[in-house]
Structure 1
Amino acid sequence: MDDVLGYKGKRVIVTGCFSGMGEATAKMLLDLGAEVHGLDFKDSSLPLASFNNVDLRDPASIEAGVKAIGGKVDALFNCAGLPQSFPPMDVMKVNFIGLRHLTQQVLPMLNQGGAIANIASTGGMGWSRRIPTNMEFVTTQGWDAAIAWCEANMDTIAEGYSFSKENVIVWTQFMGAQLIKKGYRINCTLPSPTQTPMMAKFHEASGKDVVDAAAEPMGRYSTPEEQAGGLVLLNSKLASIINGVVLPVDGGFMGGVVTGQVDLSVMMRRSQPAQ
């Protein structure tokens, strides 16, 4: 079959490749003939070109992991993430601050035409209601400034998850307009609830009924492989003009919300702690 997606022989980096969407993305890229380099907090068992342990809560760990890969790369897949059951600052570091720092380390390694795909979430769909706040945060300069902003705005951070994903969305759109001038693209996906090892944590933190409401109108959770497809498409040569896009990969959830076919009342209530 023709290499229609353009990954054969390309060097790519996948974070979060131990399990879930990141593992599924790495497997798909391997099947497509890419040279896959993995980064994760936990060891990966995949036949990768290289693997390095990285803690996205630690800038030195991020820098060492990226340096160990070295050379030029063609694509970055930011798939690592934490659910809201972890401490809010850990969630913020892994889901946004660490993602941003790692991306900044990889940018000098990107070949012309290189692309970046980030995983956000439908849980961050409130971004459009507080863009000034999001922009103030995502334009902080460096790791320490981002941490200081969070520590000064813990009421805004709240549980960490929703705000972190809002900022992946806003930062992706902001950087899209910046990076395209340099010959790079950046996009993100908004997955609906996906059957990964983290799902039990989402049920515990938000309540199964809240999570299930976000799986409408499809009526089921997506698979990691389905989510990987969206990411792989965004960074492929077929998507060469797609940039700064926030792509719902959700079985029609966002469309259902916009057209009044999905009831958000369950999702918007404050979920009760599991008994």
Structure 2
Amino acid sequence: MSKALGYNGKRVIVSGCFSGMGEATARALIELGAEVHGFDFKDSSLPLASFNRLDLRDPASIEAAVAAVGGKVDALFNCAGLPGGGAFPALDTFKVNFAGTRHLTENVLPLMGPGGAVVSIASTGGLGWSRRIPVHMELMQTSGFAGATAWAEAHPEHVAEGYAFSKEAVIVWTQFLCARLIKQGIRINCTLPSPTQTPMMDTFQATSGKEVVDAAAEPLGRYSTAEEQANGLLLINSDLAGIVTGVVLPVDGGFMGSLATGQIDISKMMKRG
């Protein structure tokens, strides 16, 4: 099965490789024989082909990291992110989770050819995207990092604390971009993780409330692991995924299905810790 995934010999980039889902993804890709180039704000201890310090709030940092890798890139894993709930300034969260992630992708895409694939980590916290399509489509029309940031600065009422809106934006951007990219033979998808036991979990619980986070972990009844989330990313970016593109893939132990069929007490998720 590892051979079927098709990562052996591929050149890939993983942002957020220092810890959590990004670290688990980078480690798995190394084990699968990929040439893994890691980006993060903090140094990684993994045996990467290269590591470049990256600040997704800084477009020059993004451009320098991509230029340092150079050459052909077969796959990009956008795993870097910040939590919300006021843990960080709202604009910083927006920049890292959307504006910087989009800018990184736009800089990597010219290095990709047919068969290339991009996957980003969104969130069940971005489930409100469908109710704000006109707002998000306005954001999608912006150009570059500066354009997205200027839009966010002009619309604090939409950005709010930064996390939910930025993850909604990742979802809409994935679906918006897929039709153009598939014409070049490149796929783009994103995943919706359930609550995951990573170093960010303490911040999520402190800012959103443990009861809220625990409600999003049903019906699985536990937090997922970084490795389980990495497996979802590996699958959807692999050769096995064929022409799968524009997909928002729940990796959530049945949360989305249970929510859609009324088996989740949504009232718990509306509370604030």
TM-score (norm 1): 0.97
Instruction: Show CA shifts across 1:217-258 (max 9, x none).
Output: 111000000000000001100001110000000000000000
1:18 is aligned to 2:18? yes
Q: Aligned with 2:7: secondary structure? A: coil
One-letter amino acid matched to 2:73:
V
CA RMSD of aligned residues (A): 0.8
2:10 and 2:113 mapped to 1: Cα distance? 10
Choose the corresponding residue for 1:162, options 161, 164, 189: 164
Choose the corresponding residue for 2:117, options 115, 118, 141: 115
2:141 and 2:234 mapped to 1: Cα distance? 27
Deviation at 1:138, TM superposition (A): 2.2
Q: Aligned with 2:183: secondary structure? A: helix
2:30 and 2:123 mapped to 1: Cα distance? 25
One-letter amino acid matched to 1:180:
I
1:117 and 1:197 mapped to 2: Cα distance? 21
Who is 1:152 aligned against? 154
1:27 is aligned to 2:37? no
> Residues 37-56 of structure 1 correspond to what in structure 2 (within 5 A)?
37-56=37-56
> Residues 191-230 of structure 1 correspond to what in structure 2 (within 5 A)?
191-230=193-232
1:93 is aligned to 2:109? no
Who is 2:7 aligned against? 7
Moved more, 106-115 or 160-169: 106-115
Who is 1:232 aligned against? 234
Q: Aligned with 2:8: secondary structure? A: coil
Q: Aligned with 1:93: secondary structure? A: helix
1:173 and 1:118 mapped to 2: Cα distance? 12
Who is 2:255 aligned against? 253
Q: Aligned with 2:113: secondary structure? A: strand
Who is 1:268 aligned against? 270
Who is 1:179 aligned against? 181
One-letter amino acid matched to 1:53:
R
Q: Aligned with 1:111: secondary structure? A: coil
Q: Any unmatched runs of 5+ in structure 2?
A: none
Who is 1:72 aligned against? 72
One-letter amino acid matched to 1:158:
A
Who is 1:126 aligned against? 128
Who is 1:104 aligned against? 106
1:197 and 1:58 mapped to 2: Cα distance? 23
Q: Aligned with 2:253: secondary structure? A: coil
Q: Any unmatched runs of 5+ in structure 1?
A: none
1:180 and 1:111 mapped to 2: Cα distance? 11
One-letter amino acid matched to 1:34:
A
Who is 2:57 aligned against? 57
Report if aligned partners of 2:113, 2:184 keep a CA contact under 8 Å in 1.
no
Report if aligned partners of 2:2, 2:32 keep a CA contact under 8 Å in 1.
no
2:15 and 2:163 mapped to 1: Cα distance? 18
1:95 and 1:224 mapped to 2: Cα distance? 18
Who is 1:142 aligned against? 144
Instruction: Show CA shifts across 1:91-133 (max 9, x none).
Output: 0000000000000000000131100000000000110111111
2:250 and 2:127 mapped to 1: Cα distance? 10
TM-score (norm 2): 0.98
How many aligned positions are there? 271
One-letter amino acid matched to 2:98:
F
